[in-house]
Structure 1
Amino acid sequence: MSTVDLLSELRWRGLIHQCTDEAALAKLLEQPQTIYIGFDPTATSLHVGGLMQLMMLRRFQKAGHRPIALVGGATGMIGDPSGKSEERNLLTAEQLQANVDGVAAQMRAFLDFEGPQAALLLNNFDWMKDFSYLDFLRDVGKNFPVGGMMGKESVRSRLDSEAGLSYTEFSYMLLQAYDFVQLAKQYDCKIQAGGSDQWGNITAGIDLGRRMLGQPLVGITAPLLLTSDGKKMGKTERGAIWLDPQRTSPYAFYQYWRNVDDADVMRCIAYLTEIDREEYDTLAQQTADDPGRRAAQQRLAEWMTQFVHGDDGLQSALRASKMLFGGEIDALSDDELGEIFEDVPSSEVDRTSLEGDGLWVVEAFQTAGLTTSNGDARRTIKEGGAYVNNRRVADADVRLKADDLASESVMVLRKGKRKYALLRFR
């Protein structure tokens, strides 16, 4: 992909929100360049907002440039005030290291660390750890005019808020700006990218590079991943959508994208995937012509789940999704079943009822609240409308035992096509 093609790709995807000098950027990209994005390790996993930034690095790498994914082992000790209404809780050294390790491992799955433009995974703690406070003030701080710092939106908004802004957070901008200088010196990195909330930090780094190195640097930001009504995307009632399958299962991850609003789905495809323009236009037309088909959401969910969780993760998500529509249920964990059937009523039953002769299926349906009496349960079974783990019950005299559990302790009962209930055996 040429420089023109890369910038054109970023434009049609809507990924250029701000650029300090587009002409200078285009000129730089005529030759292979090094570009970096910083990631603060606030958790052991990235969420979908971080994935958007990784995809930006990936796009540059596929166009022949070298990406640097910079993990903020030093800046993470402070916390970026940009876009925050109050100060973050400071992490212990142990928490921070665990977060750095977790985030770094995820980055390796999305960037090429061995090809001709091999990505670099760096930690800014490596060059900040030996700085004394006095040395930093003398070498770096003297190059920061306070008036310029006070003019940054991230600073102004916090100064006007109830929470205010601590000196610790105020110093964050100096640390991130110095990252750009360090990477320019050591790796000839002339381009920094990030989300639009990083504009102030990025321009501070460019200004510091001019003062300390006499070198012109370039910054580019992408829009934040927001819904059409301005809310941060990747949030649910149950919390953030993480890349770590232990935090957000492939099924929950898949379902999130499958249920994206029509007003947001094409923007998600543009920002987060590598689906090309031709297919994008086809999906946009299908969404406009027949929104009920949800073709774009289906494609987005499948692409994202396969990209993040691989073929096995996608197949697991598809299999779990089919269970809601009658697919046989087995070989799942309690947690997985809980996610799939999170809105389904459940009842607790003594596990000893599965011993000996077992639990009478008629009694099970009554306990689950799916039938009102023995007669109602028998009629449901006789008419072919009773299911255990989506397998039809043909005999009202069936006794349920531990082998009939769908997971460690859960059994899924269904009446008719869509009426589900869970029995949890404790």
Structure 2
Amino acid sequence: MPPPVVSSVSPNQGPAAGGTTVTVTGTGFTGVTSVRFGAKSSPAFTSSSTTKITARTPSGTGTVNVTVTTSGGTSTQSVPFTYVPAPSLTGLSPAEGPVSGGTTVVLTGASFSGVTAVEFDGVPAASFTVDSSSQIIAVTPAHAAGPAAVTVTTSSGTSNALNFTYTAAPSVTGLSPNQGPVSGGTTVTLTGANFSAATAVQFGGVAAASFTVDSGSQITAVAPSHAGGAAAVTVTTPGGTSNPADPNAFFYYAAPPSLTGLVPPSGTTAGGTTVTLTGSDLLGATAVEFGGVAAASFTVDSSTQITAVAPSHAAGTAAVTVTTLGGSSNPVGYVYLDTPVLVSVEPDLGPADGGTVVTLTGNNVAAATDVQFGAVTASFTVVSPTQITTVVPADTAGPVSVTVTTPAGTSNGLTYTRLAAPNI
């Protein structure tokens, strides 16, 4: 019998561990005694005809020649079978990312040909591209926080595992202090969660002058210079960036506050008058004072307006000031007034049709805003802090109460009698 002839083997490659079922074709396959892959015999084979053998590969490495032996001899043709090693991983870059997934990771290693899967803890990568036999670009799927074993699978098997760490996004819950000058330089303590491995701290989009990660829940940062106003503070880690919409803004004050006006400009010594202060750089106000006495309360409406309630104070002019971390404002005078008091009305009677010029004498009437005869408003002129001249309005006959009103209140009433004309 002539020796057998081997013409092909299909498939012509398989894993180094062996176990691949291949079909060997050729001629003279009568009485086959062995099928060899290099120096190793197939652990199992079946000769289904004189031209076809089904064999299972032994383990091996590299490219080997497939031979068939019968009683007529051994084939001598060069028919290769290539052992493909299982893939191996040597590196991941980056090796961590957010739990939401979406991180592009470069996998390096060997034997990446014919990759069928890239998995993160058994979860398929969102996508992957085999760049070469030693590099794969994969996009991470979503995963719970913590390490995830990354593996690559080919027809030759599954690689060793390398850990990719999933990190939860950081969150900022507090700043201390929460304001400072536009020139920067304020040391600020940030509190929150998931600060480990922080790569950036920003104030309104501007990188902190420096920062130190004290723990997973605390960072010490130095505020950079910045335009005036509120600046959202964010922390970035491989897990993502904290939410800038969190109510944790650092306020930059540009200069000491300034005051331009008070409405009303005066009120009673008892306090309680609501006063609107206007000016600039009023945000972050820490104090509003009337003559050195703290306002009963105040609300910062905007950078140009504060609403304050005047405290009680002795009569006279009190300097109103606003204080922020930037300093204290210029003073603006607020006049405290005693309640007006009427002492006399001269003359105290006149015709019912009005028109009589009357002199009102009393105290604290300089800031008069209204003179009334009964319920009727009269025209008037303030002559001095103790005297007003007024014209009696036309009205029906009879006695009426005359009063004077100032921002400090309304005076006592004195009687003025209007005489009806005689009926002849």
Q: Which of the five TM-score ranges fits, normalised by the shorter chain?
A: under 0.3
Higher relative contact order (CA 8 A, sep 6+): 1
Which one has the largest radius of gyration?
Answer: 2
> Which structure's residues are more often strand, by fraction?
2
Higher fraction of helix? 1
